[in-house]
Amino acid sequence: MTPALFIAGTDTGIGKTHAACTLLHALRAAGYSACGMKPVASGCAETPDGLRNDDALALQAASSDANLPYALINPVALRDPLSPHLAAAHDGVEISLAPLHAAFERLNTSHQCLVVEGVGGWLVPLAPGLFASDIARQWQLPVILVVGLRLGCLNHAQLSARAIVADGCRLLGWIGNRVDPAMDAPEENLSTLCELLPAPCLGVLPHGVAPALAAGYLRAAVAALD
């Protein structure tokens, strides 16, 4: 079992969290202990327990142990729903990889697989000279790319895949997510993606199906991690 992997996306709002949570349920259904992590999250709400992000909470709930400390799941929680480098500046903090990696190591040693979700697209800036891609690159994590199936996905998917490979990361495969149920020619677009992307399709998630119920669609993804 691959001990840890990185979930990247072709853009923001294309279902990285949905895919990551579905993968966590698929791993657990296959008998593995698995945990989700979102190292950096912007757009967090004030709660009595501190800043909380809906995506990070979803990953926490989908993990084998839903009672892990939130600070391990989401070490950097930022208030404003902006690019992380801007949200961090508004909060008066600067993002660095060291505290993120410390939380990563704690989670990684206690689970068979750690699913690390990125923020936004591959090259979203976190701080001066630091990008979301650096999490996968410096931690040497294989990457699964989530492709939001909508108009424009062919271009976005190819550009993202090229960037991932150019950065020296292993593109393990990609997951299609039907974010637009009214998309024209969806099967033809899927066929084109299979032809153009340099890694296999690990599953296609239907629109509007909860992660716990969609786990069966990612059996190929689990098999790819063995």
* CATH number of the domain to which 36 belongs: 3.40.50.300
Q: What is the mean pLDDT of the chain?
A: 97
Is residue 191 within a helix (H) or strand (E), and if so which, with residue range? helix 186-196
Across 186-210, average pLDDT? 97
Of 28, 38, 85, 150, which one is the catalytic site residue?
38
Contact 160, 150 (CB under 8 A): no
- Which pLDDT score, from 0 to 100, does residue 1 have? 86
Number of domains present in the structure of the chain: 1
pLDDT tens-digit series, residues 175-186:
999 999 999 999
| pLDDT for residue 215 is more than 90 | yes
Q: DSSP assignment, residue 217? A: G
Cα 61 to chain centroid distance, Å, stands at 15
d(CA 210, CA 24): 12
Q: Name the residue range of residue 74's domain.
A: 4-225
Residue 42: phi, psi to the nearest 5? -105, 160
Q: What is the 3-state secondary structure (H, E, C) of 84-143?
A: HHHHHHHHCCCCCHHHHHHHHHHHHCCCCEEEEECCCCCCCEEECCEEHHHHHHHCCCCE
> Does the annotation mark 38 as catalytic?
yes
d(CA 9, CA 157): 8
| pLDDT for residue 211 is more than 90 | yes
Cβ count within 10 A of residue 8 = 29
**Model confidence band, residue 116 (pLDDT cutoffs 50, 70, 90):** very high
Question: Buried b / exposed e across 180-200, counting CB within 10 Å, b at 16+?
Answer: eeeeeebeebbeebeeebebe
d(CA 219, CA 223): 6
Above pLDDT 70, what percent of the chain?
100
Contact 36, 59 (CB under 8 A): yes
- Which pLDDT score, from 0 to 100, does residue 118 have? 97
